[in-house]
Structure 1
Amino acid sequence: MAVTELLGLPRTRGRLPLVAAQGVDALGTGLFLPFAVVYFHAAKGIPLTAVGAALSAAALLALPAGPLAGPLVDRFGPRRIVVAANALRVATFTGYVFAGSLGQLVVLAALTFWGEGLFWPASGALVAQVADDGQRARWYAMERTLRNVGIGLGGLAGSALVIAGGYTTIVVLNAASFLLAAALVAAWRGGRTDPPRTDPPQTDPPRTDPPRTVRVVARRRGYRAVLADRAFRRVLVTVFVFALCDLALTVLLSAYVLDTLRLLAWQPGVLFALNTVLVVLAQTVVARRVERFGKPRTLQVAAAVWAAAFLLFAVAPLAAPLPVFAVLTVATAVFTAAELLQAPTSSALTVALAPPHLRGRYLGLEELLWGVARVLAPVTFTALLGAGPQLPWLVLAGSCMLAVVVLAGLRAVPEPAATRETTDA
């Protein structure tokens, strides 16, 4: 067995510029992400509370980006929108260097979030367009691995650059990374070079949606067609639940460990590092291992595993005589196992449900729900944590079991026929 197959990597011949673009994008993001709030406070003199409010307002203003990206991707093709989204972020990060007021921060941050809202549906559609049939989940897994590696290495490099050259250096380099990523994608004209193949056989029974639903989706071209898809309406429920689950680690864990459990300050960092290392080492391998299972079934398992992780987080302070940090470590590992199952499978399921001419719109609605979750997660999780230390974890566990029930009503998804798709010119 080839090493690439053993590691669960997709076939990339003829598509290496796209892989390079993903890596450069992730590295640049890693340079800036850990210092985003600090940059505006330390380099621009804006109070921390004002920075937080400005970023939240910018995120709200950017919520329409995902739904708008859908028609643009379907009309102009994903490659053009990926290039445009990166170009927009080049402009905004360049603007950060010269911005000095709170109002300018809100405008530039909103445009940055718009760039991200355009980028993710377009990037998902581009992967769906160029990946070999049956390997889309592997591509999404590889993209996620590259992002984690890039953010980790970028964070380390960013720390050194802040010491050597100040915060402005990492902002300029992040803008340069988006420019290079845009150039790589814009210059790439490749299509598939390997013969397509079909996906591994699915173990679930074939999907039998009512014929009228199928005809409606095929005939209409707008969001009415997307919302007429009963299966995708179920998927959207799980997208929102899984987005909240994913955000729990970044939004909730540090506050829970430090403020509620009163543990040592270094421990959240170790838990985050464990999560990152496991994703980097195992994501593509897990994606290959679960290919033979139906996507809805895999997501059901992911939701159940996530529920188990949240219950472990909830009982951590009650786990004496076991050390609390040991329980949190196990909970983080279980949490990561759920992520490894869910992340590539969820994206591949959305793409499998979408007719090619509506793929951008399907992914655009998925991005909208992620945006809503990013807005609601901080205020919701902190309010629940204030009401009781176990409450947010129990609510998340219950939400995961709801996702299991919703997915139980989703029959197996017919995979796209093994046909060649060319990239947009």
Structure 2
Amino acid sequence: MGAPRRDVRRDPAPEVRTFWAALPTEGRWLLSTVAIQTLGRGLTLPFTLIYLHEVRGFELGLSGTLMALIAVVGFLVTGPGGAMVDRYGARAVLLVGLAAMIVGNLTLAFATTPAVAAAALVLVGFNFGVSWPAFNALIAAVVSGELRQQYFGINFALVNLGIGVGGVVGGLLADVDRPGTFTAIFVGDAVTGLVPLALLLAPLRHVHGRASAPEDGSTPAAVGYLAILGQPAVRWLTLLTFVATFIGYGQHEAGFPGFARQAAEVSTRTVGLAFAVNTVVIVVLQFSVLNRIKRHLRTRVMVVMAFIWALAWGLLGAAGIVPGSSLAIAGVLAYMAVFALGETLLQPTVPAMANDLATDHTRGRYNAITAAAFQGGAIAGPVVAGFLLQHDLAAVYIAIMVAGCVAIAAMALALERHVPASANGGGEVRSPTTEVV
């Protein structure tokens, strides 16, 4: 009799408990409220443009321009925000960003003129730009080693869960014939910001996220963005992040919905369902994926992600060949499911690598560079998609997306030649010296 077959299925529950037990108290606090914090963002994210145009009566073009303020302001303040994180600490910057977000959403809830709406969206964009590098730096300050990669992955799943649930709740509440419902969801977004604010002011008030001074009394030399970008590993990682965002998240607001409606000719209900599928796949698979990529080179994980995304874009392209059919619907839904699998590979690796490349005194700036690359891709993606789809170049659009995936794989292999093993998951990762308590 041969050896019994080993059951390859693993119960993730014990591993989840092991991960939770390994987290420091500060890490548990940060992770335990992520879904609640992002639920407010989900309440308003899909409905801001509808609110500005259909409820407040702004012209569609003006409404789109106002929406762009979030990304543009976020991009502009990311660099200064990263420098402030290194100078004043991640906690202080997060507190300022959260205060701006709360005021911005409360203002937007009652905005009746474009000028007031613009001021509100500038505040929201400011928070988006400074909070991203600050939050990642705060995570890196309290979680180190392999645990850090797991943390970033699980945090991403919880963010998607919060936004997904918020989107469903917002969809049930929002009604263009009852303007008060939109006021309510923006106020709700502001209220959820009180959760992380309370967290930082009470149980995490001692976690400043700023590197402690060296024991010998010396002051670390200031390192600027140009010096950081002078490192080949940082340049390749930044370029990879930009392209990944351009062909990924940059297409979610314009490219994917536009192709699904115009080329695949599916209903808006199918488009909404596709986003729900994306959220479910990420939430269900993220922890299992994290266990499978342990101790694998992060650059090789990025290569696998690139080919998974190429498959996803191929599925969406196939949906355009049979427009309006059940196969088109299946192709659109399959695209989002496969794309989500790739996301579970990307999100734990890029921020973990960026923070492992950084020193404790430059962590804010490293995270700001990654955030700026992401925001740049998110700005460029809809512009290119809109141009191609407007000129009926759907096939060219898909070809560019697939070519971008191939480029990501090539960039990941180029990055591998420059990144140290400690930042690529191939060696021991330096423990942070940041003073937490």
TM-score (norm 2): 0.84
CA drift at 1:345: 0.9
Which has the higher relative contact order, 1 or 2, with Cα contacts under 8 A spaced 6 or more apart? 1
Alignment of 1:214-363 (within 5 A): 221-247=223-249, 248-318=251-321, 323-363=327-367
Q: What is the match of residue 100 of structure 2? A: 88
CA drift at 1:13: 4.6
Q: What is the match of residue 393 of structure 2? A: 388
For residues 177 and 66 of structure 1, the distance between their equivalents in structure 2, rounded to whole angstroms, comes to 23
For residues 313 and 7 of structure 1, the distance between their equivalents in structure 2, rounded to whole angstroms, comes to 38
The one-letter code of the counterpart of 1:37 is L
Does the CA-based 8 Å contact 2:69-2:121 persist in structure 1?
no
The one-letter code of the counterpart of 1:151 is I
**CA pair 100-313 structure 1, distance change in 2 beyond 3 A:** same
The yes-or-no answer on 1:170 pairing with 2:179 is no
User: Which moved further from structure 2: 224-233 or 113-122?
Assistant: 224-233
The one-letter code of the counterpart of 2:25 is G
Does the CA-based 8 Å contact 1:8-1:286 persist in structure 2?
no
1:4-47 Cα offsets, whole Å, 9 max, x none, are 51589554451333124422221111122222112223443323
1:176-219 Cα offsets, whole Å, 9 max, x none, are 11122211122233889xxxxxxxxxxxxxxxxxxxxxxxxx96
**CA pair 378-339 structure 1, distance change in 2 beyond 3 A:** same
**CA pair 325-42 structure 1, distance change in 2 beyond 3 A:** closer
The yes-or-no answer on 1:116 pairing with 2:128 is yes
For residues 16 and 129 of structure 2, the distance between their equivalents in structure 1, rounded to whole angstroms, comes to 34
User: Which moved further from structure 2: 58-67 or 367-376?
Assistant: 58-67
For residues 119 and 326 of structure 2, the distance between their equivalents in structure 1, rounded to whole angstroms, comes to 49
| Gap regions ≥5 residues in structure 1 | 193-217
For residues 383 and 8 of structure 1, the distance between their equivalents in structure 2, rounded to whole angstroms, comes to 49
For residues 335 and 2 of structure 1, the distance between their equivalents in structure 2, rounded to whole angstroms, comes to 23
User: Which moved further from structure 2: 315-324 or 395-404?
Assistant: 315-324
For residues 319 and 259 of structure 1, the distance between their equivalents in structure 2, rounded to whole angstroms, comes to 12
Does the CA-based 8 Å contact 1:93-1:172 persist in structure 2?
yes
For residues 231 and 56 of structure 1, the distance between their equivalents in structure 2, rounded to whole angstroms, comes to 31
Q: What is the match of residue 203 of structure 1? A: none
Secondary structure of the 1:355 match is coil
The yes-or-no answer on 1:14 pairing with 2:25 is yes
1:39-96 Cα offsets, whole Å, 9 max, x none, are 2234433233321122224532442111111111111111221122111101111222
Q: What is the match of residue 214 of structure 2? A: none
| Gap regions ≥5 residues in structure 2 | 1-10, 208-219, 423-428
Secondary structure of the 2:376 match is helix
Does the CA-based 8 Å contact 1:8-1:285 persist in structure 2?
no
For residues 272 and 159 of structure 1, the distance between their equivalents in structure 2, rounded to whole angstroms, comes to 13
1:109-143 Cα offsets, whole Å, 9 max, x none, are 12211111101111111111111421112111121
The one-letter code of the counterpart of 1:344 is P
The one-letter code of the counterpart of 1:60 is V
Q: What is the match of residue 212 of structure 2? A: none
For residues 394 and 110 of structure 2, the distance between their equivalents in structure 1, rounded to whole angstroms, comes to 43
Does the CA-based 8 Å contact 2:253-2:382 persist in structure 1?
no
Q: What is the match of residue 78 of structure 1? A: 90
For residues 329 and 57 of structure 2, the distance between their equivalents in structure 1, rounded to whole angstroms, comes to 37
For residues 372 and 77 of structure 1, the distance between their equivalents in structure 2, rounded to whole angstroms, comes to 25
Secondary structure of the 2:75 match is coil
The yes-or-no answer on 1:126 pairing with 2:138 is yes
**CA pair 57-123 structure 1, distance change in 2 beyond 3 A:** closer
The one-letter code of the counterpart of 1:281 is V
For residues 225 and 15 of structure 2, the distance between their equivalents in structure 1, rounded to whole angstroms, comes to 38
Secondary structure of the 2:431 match is coil
Q: What is the match of residue 417 of structure 1? A: 430
CA drift at 1:220: 5.0
**CA pair 4-73 structure 1, distance change in 2 beyond 3 A:** farther
The one-letter code of the counterpart of 1:14 is T
Does the CA-based 8 Å contact 2:360-2:434 persist in structure 1?
no
The one-letter code of the counterpart of 1:237 is L
Task: Count residues with an aligned counterpart.
Answer: 399
User: Which moved further from structure 2: 154-163 or 245-254?
Assistant: 154-163
**CA pair 82-91 structure 1, distance change in 2 beyond 3 A:** same
The equivalent position to 1:38 in structure 2, one of 35, 47, 50, is 50
Q: What is the match of residue 200 of structure 1? A: none
Q: What is the match of residue 183 of structure 1? A: 198
TM-score (norm 1): 0.86
Q: What is the match of residue 374 of structure 1? A: 378
Secondary structure of the 1:356 match is coil
CA drift at 1:266: 2.3
Secondary structure of the 2:223 match is coil
The one-letter code of the counterpart of 1:408 is L
The one-letter code of the counterpart of 1:170 is I
Does the CA-based 8 Å contact 1:226-1:232 persist in structure 2?
yes
